Chains A and B, each alone.
Chain A
Amino acid sequence: MNDRMSEKELTGRLARLPREISPEHDPWPKISARIEQAGSAATRGHSERGWWVRAVAAAAVIAIAAGLLFSMQPNGLSVPGQGPAQKALDTDSGQGGLPGILAGSEAEYLAAFREFIPLGHSRAVLPLQTIEKIEMGWADLLNTETALSAALEEHPNDPFLNQRMLELRARQLGFLKQLATLDSSNRRMTI
């Protein structure tokens, strides 16, 4: 019974996670609202700042989510988190740190991602070939992140590159959500 309750709760929480991260369908309205409320941001470069602010939040969420997902595995996958968004965070820290207005929203996301912890159990029942393919998919995402990070270091304020980074984060989130579905299915079909 407890398993079923947890599964239901997990599914519900996953359903509430954003499917896409893009300016057209901003998944972080709360962040934006708080940024606007703060009102202290300079008008110059405001939209550019919005890009990386969201990227920073996404990077933090992805890094911790992936860490939770794979940390239980002795041969687990490498974890992102040293990309340009993270470095931007470090850079920004030197200029006053991550805006405090983001902290609340990040906490909300991190709470949701804690539900990914049970995913580690699915790994034990998957065929080796499937695990390898999943790892390759994740590796592709990380390789892309590395290449995109290098480009962003050269052109940190390029809207096109920032858009790509946000979309990559969305794909990473989607990847994790798909694995969560796998875990949910696996538990439901075994007794």
Chain B
Amino acid sequence: MNTHVKANIAASMCLIALLFPVAGSCGEEIDQTIEMSASGLVQVENLAGTIEFSTWDRDEVQVRGEAGEDVEEVEISSSTKGVQIRVRNAKNKRRVDGTDLHLRIPEKASIEAESVSADISVSGSSGDSVMLNTVSGDLEVEASPERIELASVSGDIEFDGQVMRTAVESVSGDITVVGAAGEVNVSTVSGDVSLEAGDVSRGRFESVSGELTLELALEDGGRLNCDSMSGDLNLSLPASQKADFGAQSYSGDINTDFGRAVSVSRGPGTMLEHREGDNGAQIRLETFSGDISIRSQ
């Protein structure tokens, strides 16, 4: 029975997944192509190595690669939901030989990928969502899905594309986001954040010691909240930006092209309260010791 027939059976029986064991032992080549719905979900779990997604104009998923030396099994399964690829490594291996996976997926397919140390890259997807999670691997996405959720502990994260719902989180990895708009949430501990966004309706940016460098425009009625402990906060806005501005820092400086910062009257620190126009938008910036810069461009 070939994989094409198996996939059709899976679809007709609903919720019954079929397994296609590709590599039962380490070091084997992986080369499998499976049908899936154009807007289905591709899920991948791979502990170490690489996961690369690119798109093509077929309603199929092609999986190529080579199983690492520590791989116990590679499972490729298909269901009505989409395609799942799971690489299972042997337990208690301190140095894991990674598995490289190269996938070609339908352009409108959604993506979920998870790894511990594998780098993950996505190119060309315009599906509903791209959700990537890794610990020490880097994440690189050039795509335009409806929403992205990217998380890494120590790896760097880069996104370049168009997206209306963004959630990015890291601990020590640097974050670079270009092209986000709408709802944007970015959080880091010590990594630096660089954002070049379009019109933002809801923005929330958090850092402990990492520097936040944000370039965006806030929509009428929008909300922007930026919070940093010791990291500097640099915000660039259009010269025509209207909003209620509020900023405060305990020991950092506030430099602004919108209004004038003053010392807090009852207590330590510096603050800014300023209204530019009356469009209902609110911008709130707060740091403990980091400097705040608000520039018009």
Contacts and interface: CB of A to CB of B under 8 A. Distances in A.
Contact of A130 (B153, B269, B288): B153
B28 to A, nearest CB: 17
A164 interface: yes
A166 to B, nearest CB: 11
A90 interface: no
Contact of A126 (B88, B135, B268): B135
Contacts of B115: 185, 189
Interface string A162-191: 011001100100110011011001101111
B189 A185 contact: no
A39 B273 CA distance: 36
B87 A125 contact: no
B78 interface: no
Contacts of A163: 286
Given A137-B189, A167-B227, A182-B116, A151 B208 contact: no
B interface: dominant SS: loop
Given A130-B136, A134-B153, A190-B90, A141 B267 contact: no
Contacts, number: 128
Interface residues of A, number: 39
Contacts of B47: 186, 189-190
A164 B250 contact: yes
A190 B88 contact: yes
A147 B230 contact: yes
A182 B288 contact: no
A111 interface: no
Nearest to B87: A189
A21 to B, nearest CB: 12
Contact of B288 (A129, A147, A189): A147
Given A133-B136, A137-B171, A155 B267 contact: yes
Interface string B155-181: 000000000000001011000000000
Contacts of A148: 229, 288
A103 interface: no
Contacts of A77: none
Nearest to B117: A127
Given A167-B227, A182-B135, A191-B90, A144 B208 contact: yes
A186 B250 contact: no
A98 interface: no
Interface string A147-166: 11001001100101101100
Given A158-B267, A182-B135, A137 B172 contact: yes
B133 A185 contact: yes
A107 interface: no
Interface in B19-64: 45-47
B107 interface: no
Contact of A188 (B45, B169, B251): B45
Given A134-B154, A175-B189, A185-B114, A190 B250 contact: no
B288 A164 contact: yes
B208 A134 contact: no
15 contacts: A125-B92, A127-B136, A133-B136, A133-B171, A143-B209, A144-B230, A144-B288, A158-B268, A164-B250, A164-B288, A178-B153, A181-B133, A189-B88, A190-B90, A190-B91
- The 6 A-B pairs at the shortest CB distance, nearest first, are namely A133-B154, A130-B136, A137-B171, A190-B91, A189-B47, A144-B229
Given A141-B189, A147-B288, 6 more contacts: A141-B208, A160-B250, A168-B208, A174-B187, A178-B151, A185-B133
